[in-house]
């Protein structure tokens, strides 16, 4: 009788232990499969993916310095700022502002006569809004020294303040962006600003070609 | 969950085995947060056989590494529809959003990164854009910012510059927009606004008595907007403007413009 009760106890104990061990194994198994049996499972943060938590760098802001050849008014140093918003890997929109001071026409220099424009009127300022298209690629400076880069084309319109007036201006440009890091880039730009001017007599279309070097940050 | 906790508590050995690394990782995470001053990056696991890592955020930049199935990726940052990731082997590269969407989050759920789609257009808060066109036959350029009240109504502030042979015009307008069918990809809209017009004669035409004039403006407009891609829309707009001059007759102006806007 006693042995009977003992054996029943023993069987009961065995059952309890075996089920609890099975349960442990199941739980361990579940935990392992949930974390993909990865070595770094303990470091995994449990949270939902929300893009708001990921830092996005779609804006590009920078300064540039260059030379602008103002038609009939010689070439001059240009300073400016640029901000761009990258819509896709290829497409971006850009706003630029630049200012320079125009020189003298050859007539003014040769004749030594009265100047065409006052000092204030020689201030050359422009803004323009443009759409740009990137052709992305790599630049091999040497065999092993490689940077990401992009060649881009822009088409824009804006206004130029020169000779005391604001003039509607079309801008065509091409540029080269060298990405030194993910968020810092050097630019080399060529741009043609086209507007109508009657400053030296009859109205004509003038081409004012700018080239410049710039540096921008993505943020 | 409760039963798991009880079992874990009932088995001190396993309990310690699990708790130690967890505690250690929490301490490490806290430490890294303190050291970096920011949140630990979001991690996802690769489900597909592999994911390609590019050297930069565009298809034009080459694939330099292939991360395998089961590897964990930390998402560091994003640019347009590319994300910079770091594998658990320490490789950093850029992955396209579509590829990342095939991975699993730490919750074991498919990754659903917020993507700017047409559906997100109706949840936008504000819009920025630029339009070009003609005002009474003279080239004009506008920039605008609009704040969205609800899916139909938005308020807009715009500045326009129109440069003619005889004068320079600056327009400042505050307008109320009504998107008639916001659920359509191509939807018409109407607008009503008030503002100011400033007209400055060209320098070479200035004579005695000619100077900058300001007058109030009333505006009514009709337009079309088309959702293009990501957070980009195209707009075509016609506006009829009435300048309330201090002369005998009011001046009526017509404006056509075409442009684009980005929304956030």
State both tokens at A30: 């579940």
Contact A48 B109 (CB under 8 A): yes
Res A17: pLDDT: 55
Model confidence at A28: pLDDT above 50:
no
The answer, yes or no, to whether residue A183 has pLDDT greater than 70, is: yes
| pLDDT band at residue B117 under the 50/70/90 scheme | confident
Residue A30 has pLDDT above 60, yes or no: no
What ipTM is given for this predicted complex?
0.70
Q: How far is B23 from chain A (nearest CA, A)?
A: 9
- The band of B75, judged by pLDDT with boundaries at 50, 70 and 90, is confident
**Facing residue for B42 by CB, picked from A53, A136, A182:** A53
Phi, psi dihedral angles at B154 (to 5 degrees): -140, 155
Query: Nearest Cβ partner of B79 from A56, A164, A198?
Result: A56
Q: Do B58 and A89 touch (CB under 8 A)?
A: yes
Distance, CA of B58 to CA of B51 (rounded, Å): 15
Do the beta carbons of residue B57 and residue B80 sit within 8 Å?
yes
User: Is B72 in CB contact (< 8 Å) with chain A?
Assistant: yes
> Which of B43, B55, B79 is nearest residue A58 as measured by Cβ atoms?
B79
Rounded to whole angstroms, how far apart are CA atoms A116 and A108? 7
pLDDT higher at B120 or B125 = B125
Contact call for A159 and B79, based on CB within 8 A: no
| B57 or B32, which is more confident | B57
pLDDT above 80 for A11 = no
Q: Is A56 on the interface with B (CB under 8 A)?
A: yes
pLDDT of residue A35: 47
Which secondary-structure segment (H or E) carries B30?
Answer: helix B12-36
pLDDT band at A25 (very low <50, low <70, confident <90, very high): very low
Rounded CA-CA distance B132/B160 in Å is: 9
Between A25 and A69, name the one with better pLDDT.
A69
Of the pLDDT bands very low, low, confident and very high (cuts 50, 70, 90), residue B15 is very low
B72 contact partners, CB below 8 Å, separation of at least 6: A36, A38, A40, A44, B43, B44, B45, B46, B87, B88
> Is B9 exposed, middle or buried, given 0-12, 13-18 or 19+ CB atoms closer than 10 A?
exposed
Distance of CA B21 to the CA centre of its chain: 41
pLDDT of residue A8: 60
- pLDDT score, position B241: 92
Do residues B129 and B143 lie in contact, with contact meaning Cβ atoms separated by under 8 Å?
A: yes
Do residues B242 and B217 touch, judged by C-beta distance below 8 A? yes
Q: For residue A113, with 0-12 CB atoms within 10 Å meaning exposed, 13-18 middle and 19 or more buried, which class applies?
A: exposed
> Is B118 touching A (CB cutoff 8 A)?
no
Distance CA B44, CA B109 (A): 10
pLDDT in tens, B187-239: 999 999 999 999 888 776 656 456 788 889 999 999 999 988 778 889 999 99
B56 burial (CB, 10 Å; 0-12 / 13-18 / 19+) is buried
Q: pLDDT at position B6, please?
A: 42
- Give CA–CA dist B67/B82, Å, rounded: 16
Tell me if chain A has a CB within 8 Å of the CB of B145: no
More confident residue, B156 or A30: B156
Per cent of chain A over pLDDT 90 is: 42
Tokens read off for A172: 């065509």
A24 touches chain B (CB under 8 A): yes
Radius of gyration for the alpha carbons in chain B, expressed in angstroms and rounded: 29
Q: Which residues of A touch B11 (CB under 8 A)?
A: 24
pLDDT at B264 over 90: no
Count other C-beta atoms under 10 Å from residue B166's C-beta: 11
pTM above 0.90, yes or no: no
CA distance B114 to chain A (A): 6
**Number of neighbouring beta carbons within 10 Å of residue A107:** 12
Pairing of strands B126-135, B138-148: antiparallel
Judged by a CB distance cut-off of 8 A, whether residue B57 touches chain A is yes
What is the pLDDT, as a whole number, of residue A32?
A: 46
Cross-chain residue pair B84–A148, CB shorter than 8 Å: no
Least Cα separation, residue B157 to chain A (angstroms): 18
Q: Which of A43, A84, A156, A161 to mutate to test the interface with B (most CBs of B within 10 A)?
A: A43
**Which of A103-107, A159-163, A168-172 is predicted with the least confidence, judged by mean pLDDT?**
A103-107
Picking from A34, A55, A89 by the largest number of B CB atoms within 10 A of its own CB, the best residue to mutate is A89
Residue A14 near chain B (CB below 8 Å): no
Q: Is pLDDT above 60 for B8?
A: no
For the stretch B129-188, pLDDT in tens is 999 999 988 888 999 999 999 888 999 999 999 988 788 889 999 999 998 888 888 999
Chain B contacts in chain A segment 76-135 (CB below 8 A): 85-91, 93, 121, 129, 131, 134-135
| Of B14, B113, B260, Cβ closest to residue A51 | B113
| Higher per-residue pLDDT: B197 or B10 | B197
Q: What is the per-residue pLDDT across A100-152, written as a single tens digit (0 to 9) for each?
A: 998 888 888 888 777 888 888 889 999 999 999 999 999 998 988 999 999 99
Mean of pLDDT values over A160-189: 91
Q: Which two tokens stand for residue A144?
A: 């092993």
Say what the pLDDT of residue A174 is: 95
Terminus-to-terminus CA distance in chain B, angstroms?
A: 40
Q: Give me the pLDDT at residue A72, please.
A: 87
CA distance B159 to B144: 6
pLDDT for the residue B153: 92
- Give the C-alpha separation, A207 to A192, whole Å: 6
Which of B253, B242, B259 is closest to B162 using CA atoms? B253
- Give the number of other CB atoms < 10 A from CB of residue B23: 11
Evaluate the CA torsion angle A26, A28, A33, A37 in order and state its sign. negative
Q: What was the pLDDT predicted at A187?
A: 94
Distance from CA of B214 to the nearest CA of A (A): 17
Residue of B11 and A82 predicted with greater confidence: A82
């Amino acid at each position: 009788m006693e042995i009977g009760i003992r054996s029943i106890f023993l069987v009961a104990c065995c059952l309890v232990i075996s089920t609890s061990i099975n349960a442990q194994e199941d739980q361990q198994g579940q935990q392992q499969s949930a974390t993909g049996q990865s070595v770094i499972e303990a470091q995994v943060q449990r949270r939902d993916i929300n893009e708001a938590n990921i830092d996005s760098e779609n804006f590009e802001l920078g300064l540039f310095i260059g030379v602008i050849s103002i038609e009939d008014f010689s070439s001059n140093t240009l300073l400016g700022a640029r901000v761009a918003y990258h819509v896709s890997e290829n497409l971006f929109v850009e706003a630029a502002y630049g200012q320079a001071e125009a020189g003298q026409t050859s007539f003014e220099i040769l004749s030594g006569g009265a100047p065409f424009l006052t000092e204030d009127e020689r201030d050359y300022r422009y803004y323009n809004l443009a759409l740009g298209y990137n052709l992305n690629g790599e630049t091999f400076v040497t065999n092993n020294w490689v940077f990401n880069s992009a060649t881009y084309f822009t088409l824009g319109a804006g206004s130029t303040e020169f000779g005391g007036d604001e003039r509607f201006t079309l801008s065509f440009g091409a540029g080269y962006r060298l990405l030194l890091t993910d968020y810092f880039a050097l630019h080399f730009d060529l741009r043609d600003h086209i507007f109508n001017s009657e400053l030296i007599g009859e109205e004509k279309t003038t081409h004012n070609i700018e080239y410049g070097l710039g540096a921008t940050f993505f943020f | 969950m409760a039963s798991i906790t009880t079992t874990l508590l009932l088995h001190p050995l396993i309990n310690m085995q699990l708790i130690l690394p967890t505690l250690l990782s929490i301490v490490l995470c806290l430490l890294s947060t303190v050291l970096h001053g920011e949140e630990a990056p979001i991690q996802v696991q690769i489900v597909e056989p592999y994911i390609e890592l590019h050297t930069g955020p565009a298809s034009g930049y080459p694939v330099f590494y292939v991360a395998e199935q089961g590897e964990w990726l930390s998402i560091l940052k994003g640019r347009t529809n590319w994300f910079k990731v770091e594998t658990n082997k320490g490789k950093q590269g850029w992955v396209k959003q579509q590829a990342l969407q095939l991975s699993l989050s730490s919750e074991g759920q498919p990754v659903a990164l917020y993507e700017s789609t047409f559906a997100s257009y109706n949840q936008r808060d504000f819009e920025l854009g630029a339009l070009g066109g003609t005002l009474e036959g003279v080239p004009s350029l506008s920039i605008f910012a609009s704040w969205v009240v609800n899916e139909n109504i938005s308020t807009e502030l715009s500045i326009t510059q129109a440069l003619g042979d005889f004068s320079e015009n600056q327009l400042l307008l505050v307008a109320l927009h009504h998107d008639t069918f916001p659920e359509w990809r191509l939807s018409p809209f109407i607008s009503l606004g008030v503002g100011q017009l400033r007209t400055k004669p060209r320098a070479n035409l200035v004579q005695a008595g000619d100077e900058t004039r300001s007058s109030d403006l009333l505006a009514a407009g009709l337009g079309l907007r088309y959702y293009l891609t990501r957070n980009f829309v195209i707009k075509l707009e016609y506006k009829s403007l009435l300048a309330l001059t201090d002369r005998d007759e009011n001046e009526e102006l017509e404006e056509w413009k075409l442009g684009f806007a980005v929304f956030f």
